[in-house]
Amino acid sequence: MAMEPRLETLIGLLRHRESPANLALVRRAYQFAERAHKGQTRITGEPYLNHPLATAVRLAEMKLGISVVLAGLLHDVLEDTTLPPEEVRQELHKEFGDDVLGLVERVTKLGKVQYRGIDRYVENLRRMFLAMAQDVRAIFIKFADRVHNLETLDVVPETKRRRIALESLDIYAPIANRLGMGEIRGLLEDHSFKHAYPKEYAWVTGLLKERLPKKTQYLERIRKLTRQDLTMAGIKILEIHGRTKHLYSLYKKLLTHDKDIDKIHDLAALRIVVPTVGDCYAAMGIIHQRWHPLKGRIKDYIAQPKPNGYQSLHTTVFCEDGEIVEIQIRTPEMHEEAEYGIAAHWQYDEGGKRASLAKEKLAWVKELAKIQREIQDSRQFLRRLEDMKIDVFHNHIFVFTPNGDVIDLPEDATPVDFAYAIHTEVGNHCSGARINEVMSALGTPLKSGDMVEIILDKNRKGPSPDWLKFVKTGNARDKIKVHSKQKLADWLKQVLPPVRKKG
């Protein structure tokens, strides 16, 4: 009897690294999930079983251990099933053991949140932190589950679709980033971007469609020359290829670069993987012999890793025809860490030294779990994170409207940035702000957890050019500049005599 194609894909991913006994367990887990979800369909109309199977395939692609893959395949059997939960628990324990049962239970607890606004947001945070403190592998399953849900979001009603997308951008993607899981973060952000901000998504994809083919073609020439130079220097190349910047990451960068794609030097970058740290530095030296680096654009993340553990050498160089190219150089271990982050420590080794090392790296999560038990008020919880200097959301803050809506802003953003994030007219007519019910200057830096109320003046004729001295977002800067230019044009019309046509 022919195997279901996706199950065949899953077995194929595992066959080279798992024992025949473990592969048999995967087939049994598939049969169990098939029975638990019998007759169920998703909103897309496809069999429900497709979802846990896709989740398990994603986890196998991340090279995670067998318990995580089994739990991914079974993650919905306690909730989205026609079988009695207690009967399911007993059978899971008997067939797959305590580890798999425990993971399934933790993922189930991360499920449906009944709150709205700020409380929904914070409750999601609490659950994520608690799950990470108990067993971070549950978060890996939740990420894989969420990625597949986002991939099939087109058929979901618009209001729910946008809520899921924003929740993924505001909570899931930043946590994936904090855990160093670059690939998952990129998938979460790009799939969410499409539904959270459709107009902006269309703009960015349009820019890419216009520029990327030429950039990719040029990068291929640089790749061949670089390979030739490194080979002649005796440096072994394990991998050398171009990589395109993720859509949402590109969008955020455009906002801080005057929306000018020509100012983005890493739209498509060259990535080089070499055997050792010494080879990384040697390769950079060879590259700089051919092409001059841009001043201030050499970044040594090997000597000084990013807060999430990311390591690589980055250099931006002037190449042929005056083009500028970013090049990233790393070892295979650094590449695994960059793609999978903390999850790399659970690859094939759920109870060994690598997993033990990963648990040490998650000490900050234990502290978060402690404060989330102690503090019940949503805003106090977020302020405590800020006070502890726990960099959960690197370079991001999350502030709230009086209605409890979450606004995502860059670090040190001000009430004016907040106002323009809500609406252009709110920014243009902003005359003051209350932060946590206290009147505050418009240039006051905001912190995560702040509640901001904008005071409007309908008679105000527009933004002050002085605001440009302190705003942090490209959006606010653009809106202020546009209004200032229009104001100048109107004034010139008044003071200059009209031009008369000859004849």
Domain span holding position 304: 199-330
**Is-catalytic flag, 79?**
yes
Q: Do 420 and 317 share a structural domain?
A: no
Among 197, 214, 240, the domain-final residue is 197
Asked if residue 172 is part of any domain, the answer here is yes
Say what the pLDDT of residue 396 is.
Answer: 64
Q: What is the CATH number of the domain that holds 480?
A: 3.10.20.30
Token pair, residue 274, equals 């070499």
pLDDT digits over 114-133, tens only?
Answer: 545 656 666 666 677 667 66
Lowest mean pLDDT across 105-109, 392-396, 472-476: 392-396
Rounded CA gap, 133 and 489, in Å? 58
Q: Is 429 helix (H, G, I), strand (E, B) or coil?
A: coil
Say what the pLDDT of residue 355 is.
Answer: 47
Among 309, 330, 351, the domain-final residue is 330
From 4, 34, 61, 80, active-site residue: 80
Asked if residue 12 is part of any domain, the answer here is yes
Question: Is residue 329 predicted with pLDDT exceeding 90?
Answer: yes
How long is the chain? 503
Q: Is 445 helix (H, G, I), strand (E, B) or coil?
A: coil
Say what the pLDDT of residue 59 is.
Answer: 96
Q: Do 215 and 186 share a structural domain?
A: no
Helix axes 66-73, 85-109, angle to 10 degrees: 110
Question: DSSP string of 333-367?
Answer: HHHHHHHHGGGGGGBT-SSSHHHHHHHHHTHHHHH
Rounded CA gap, 286 and 110, in Å? 49
Asked if residue 345 is part of any domain, the answer here is no
* Beta-carbon count within 10 A of 303 CB: 10
Rounded CA gap, 13 and 212, in Å? 32
**Is-catalytic flag, 170?**
no
From 46, 79, 98, 425, active-site residue: 79
Q: Is the dihedral of CA 233, 235, 240, 246 positive or negative?
A: negative
* Beta-carbon count within 10 A of 6 CB: 15
Q: Do 187 and 207 share a structural domain?
A: no
Contact in structure between 462 and 448 (CB atoms under 8 Å): no
Q: What is the pTM of this model?
A: 0.73
Say what the pLDDT of residue 79 is.
Answer: 86
Contact in structure between 130 and 151 (CB atoms under 8 Å): no
Question: Is residue 99 predicted with pLDDT exceeding 90?
Answer: yes
Question: Is residue 352 predicted with pLDDT exceeding 60?
Answer: no
